[in-house]
Each structure stands twice: as C-alpha cells, then as structure tokens.
Structure 1
Amino acid sequence: MDVRTDTYNILYVDDEEHNLNSFRAALRRNYNVYTALSGEQGMEVLSKTDIHVIITDQRMPNMTGVQFLQHIPGEQDNIRMILTGFSDMESIIDAINTGKVYRYITKPWDREELKITIDNAIETIMLRRSNKQLISELKAYNELLEEKVRQRTLELQRQADEIQLQNEQIQSQAEEIQGINENLELLVKERTAKLEKKNQAAEESAFIIAHELRSPVASILGLINLAAKCDLNEEAKTIVTHMESSGDKLNTIVRNITEAIERGDK
C-alpha cells in the first residue's frame, strides 16, 4: 500500500521531555506528530484529534502505558504500540493478548525501523477503517434493499388484493347473470307454455267452428244446386252461378282448415 504518511496523525506519550523532542525531530517530516507528557494529556489529545497510531512509553508515573491504553474509549479506532524494556515484557504480552496493543517496540528505537513499523500500522488501521466503512455501507445497502423488498412485497400484496377483489366482483356478476339467465329461461318457458296453450285453444276453437260451418255450408250448397236446376232467367242464373262459386270457395276453406288442424299444421 502506497501510504502518504504526512496525512496521518501520530501520538507519542512519554513522561520525559527529551524523549518527546527526539521522537518529534525524527518523525515530524513524515507524520503529523502529537506528544503528551502523561496519560492524562494523551487522553486530552485523543478527545480533540483523530489519531491513527498511538505510541506510549510503558514506564510512567501515575499511569503506565498499558493502563493508559486500557483507558482509551472502545470507539476510538487506532493502532496502539508500547515502547518498553525487556523487564516489562510480561505486562506487555498480557496487553497484546487482550487486544489492547498492536505490538511493542524495544528501547532504544531505531528511526528507520520505527518508521517501517508505523507505516505498517497505518496501513493496518486504514485497511481496518476501510473495512468498517464497507461493512457500514453494506449494512445500509442491505437495509435499503430490505426496505425496497418490503415496499415491493406490500405493492404486490396490494395488487393481489385488487385482483382478488376484481375476481370476486366478476364472480358475483357471473352469478347474477346466471340468475338472470335462469329467470329469463323460466319466463320463456312459461311464456311458451302460455302461447302453446292459447294456440291449442285457438286450434280447438277453429276446429269446432270449421265443423260447425260444414253443415250450414253443405246446406247452402245444396240449395244453390237446387236453384240451379230451376227454370231461371239469365240474371238469376248469373246470381246462382256466383253463389255456387262462392259456396265452393267457402266449402274449400272450411275443409282446408279442418284438414290442417287434424294434421297439426301451425
């Protein structure tokens, strides 16, 4: 990772002023160097500045380096290292095991080795922060996606409810139409039955009338035939001929009606 080191903040805590001056002189061209003479001053710097790497001396009055690091709030995201002599190794190793210390640096420190260590620490913290940012963005994206899925689910449910309502309305209308059709069919049957009954009554009446007309018509035709045999003048003969023709027509009509009814013609 190509680190532009002068954009990163380094805090060095040591109770000896000359050690702070040496550290600042050695690394101020490479980093933004902050210094503190005690853990309390270090906490004050941390409350005001985003520190990427913290380096603290272990042996200090009132508060050791490990104790200082343990007092840093958990939300502070930085890399923590301790300068120590070999006599302090037990407490340093314990701090490393509990996750409070990234690594330790033995005294006296070498500038180039210290710079490499700090650069590695910066690379680690920036990668860690980048991962946290990505995780945060991913979480936000997932929440947004879940909300979109929820909204889409609600929309699909609303559409499904509308379709269900439309289907129920269509079913209700179909049942209503079915009922109307059944009523119409019943009305048609009743109307047809009435018409058939009336038609049958009319046929029966026509049949009766036709039969009742046959005898009078036959009598009239008989009288016309008798009249035709009499000695009549020309005018009377003409009248009788017309009467005979009309009688024949009437007789034919009566006969046709009777035959049609007997055959069942409509």
Structure 2
Amino acid sequence: MFKTFLSTCRLTHLTVADCKFDCKNTLKTLIAHNLYLSALPDNINELSALNCINIAFNNLHWLPENFTLLKNLRICDASNNVLSYFPLNFLQLNSLSELYLAHNCLTVLPNLIELKNLRVLDLYNNSLETIDKQLIDSMLEIDFDLNYIEYDDCDLILKKKVRLRERLNLTRLDGQKSKPTPSIETNSVTSQSWEDHESDDYLEDDQIVEYIERDTKSESDVEIWDDVNYLDDNFLPSPISIQPRFEKLKLSSSPVYEYDLYEIFKDAD
C-alpha cells in the first residue's frame, strides 16, 4: 500500500511515468493539492488502485475523461479550482462516496443520484441554479450555499450542512447569491444591490469575499498532509468520515511505504 505526497512543490503538469516499484498498481492515496496544476495527466487511470485523491487549491479547469476510469476512487477533493463542468462519463465512478467541489465555477450537475454510494457532497460557492431534491435527501452531509439555488432551508438540510461544516471545521456564509440582472439603462449586467433585498439570504460581494477568505487557505499555509508524521503506518482514508484536508483514519493493517515524487511522477516537458 502506498501514499504519495506532492504538496509544497510547484508544478504545472504531472505525467504518470514508469515506476521501478510498480506503484501505479498499488498507489491508494494521492495528495496533490496547492501545486499550481493546470491539468491532470490523461492517463491518470493507470493509477488503477487509487481510492483517495486530493487535488484542491490548483488551477484545474477540467478533469480528463480517463479520470472516470478510476473504478476504486471513493474520495475526491477537487475544491478551490476553476472547474466548470464534469467529464462525460463521470457517473461511472460507482465507488465514489465523498465529493468536495466547493469554490469552483460549476453551473450544472450530472445526475449524481446515480452514484449510489455517494453520501457527502460539498458544492459551496459555485454558480448552480438548481439541485435535485432526491440528491439532497440521499446525502448524509451536503452544502450548496452561495449558489443561485432557491430552496426552503428546512431543518433537515440545515442539519446536513452543519454536520459537514463542523466536521471540516469551516466558517461559511449561509444563504444564496443574488442573480445578476441586466440593466435596462446601460444594457450591461450588474449585480443587485443589498438594499434591493429584504432577506438575509442575499449577500454583498465584500461579505462573500470575507467569508471565503476564512474558508480557504493561502498557498503558504502549512497543510496537515505536509507532515509525514501525520499519517501513521496503519492509516489511510476511509469513506464518509474523511475530510478534504483531512483526518487520518484506519483502513488497513498493511504497511505503508513512501517513495520519492520523481519515482512516480515527472514534469511534463
């Protein structure tokens, strides 16, 4: 069983390369957050045993189509990128149980209700206008505030939202964004002002920025993943209870081996 830590590097591309330890078939956890990545390798599916990937805090606009061939993937944190759409066959990730997509540019969702094992979904601060009620009902934890979704903030949704935020130790705004409307006089698109709304569900831009800054971390901040002593020999992520920047949780009693980054990945030319 293997772990690879790529954090604190400055990379823009990764290439899945041949590895003398044949770790492509045994790598379980890939931590590649905060690396300035603009793309993942097209052949990432060669990491066939991967069940947890953290690619948060990068500059990813899309995920490669072969990402959907990671049949063992259970936990995916792709938050704090610039993702605007899902790969075509994203619903083939049948093992996926936790999906973290906060702070992206998503406008539509695939029919995620088809992912029967999905139980945790973080969609905070995107540009979504609708969400399937069945999807909400099927989640143990879900947060879709700071979108353009109109919904009744019932107790059940509130509990699921609070549960996710407390587990991840996040401070976030409640409510939704106000939809931009075209100005009749100037024919330009402007945001509705705070005074135009009597409800606290609509938020000023400066308020949003203030809370987003609290919810995100700077590139210089130390992540707990960066500490090689953080994960004990018998710990790997497990579904439902892992955090995207994360908790350590027992998965197997198999020994863990750590290999140098360049034994597994190398910069693309």
Q: TM-score, normalised by structure 2?
A: 0.25
Higher relative contact order by CA 8 Å / sep ≥ 6: 1 or 2?
2
Higher helix share: 1
